[in-house]
Structure 1
Amino acid sequence: MELLPREKDKLMLFTAALLAERRLARGLKLNYPEAVALVSMAIIEGARDGKTVAELMSEGKQVLSSDQVMEGVAELMPEVQVEATFPDGTKLVTVQNPIN
């Protein structure tokens, strides 16, 4: 199977998000890459579900709280930007301060 670079990136992001979910389930705090992956995947999957950009910008802030990430991670993530595929095309979704 031949994958485009963008498809490989999404696959790696999805894998990292699954790892983050498993670590959260075990009670572990997430590091920066895991936190970014989890928020990004929530946005990408929400777009596939037909949610609007505005809905995803709001929901992106509810994925993680500061007690679920390692110290300093929230400060490293002033925003998360993800190109997501919506029914009407690809759009850039920006979530400001994704970790409360």
Structure 2
Amino acid sequence: MELTPREKDKLLLFTAALVAERRLARGLKLNYPESVALISAFIMEGARDGQTVAALMEDGRHVLRRDQVMEGVPEMIPDIQIEATFPDGSKLVTVHNPIV
């Protein structure tokens, strides 16, 4: 199977999100890369499902709560930008203050 660099990046991001999901389910607090991966994967999957950019910008703020991540992580992530594939093409989605 041949993958483009972009496809490899998406696969790595999704794998990191799965690890984060499992750790969260075990009650562990997520670190910076796990938090970014989980929120980014949520946005990418929502885009694939046909949600709007505006809806994902809002819903992306409710994927994780402050008590689910390690201390200092919310301050390290002022915003997340992810280029996601929507039914009508790729668009940049920005989630401001993703961990409340």
Report the TM-score range of the alignment, normalised by the length of the smaller protein. over 0.9
Stretches of 4+ aligned residues off by more than 4 angstroms: none
SS at match of 2:7: helix
Q: Percent identity?
A: 75
SS at match of 2:93: strand
- 1:55 CA drift (Å): 0.3
Aligned residue pairs total 100
- Counterpart Cα distance in 2 of 1:25 and 1:65: 14
**Unmatched 5+ stretches in structure 2:** none
Q: Give the CA RMSD over aligned residues.
A: 0.3
Q: TM-score, normalised by structure 1?
A: 0.99
**Unmatched 5+ stretches in structure 1:** none
- Counterpart Cα distance in 2 of 1:78 and 1:3: 31
Q: TM-score, normalised by structure 2?
A: 0.99
**1:42-77 CA-partner distances (Å, limit 9, x unpaired):** 000000000000000000000000000000000000
Partner of 2:43: 43
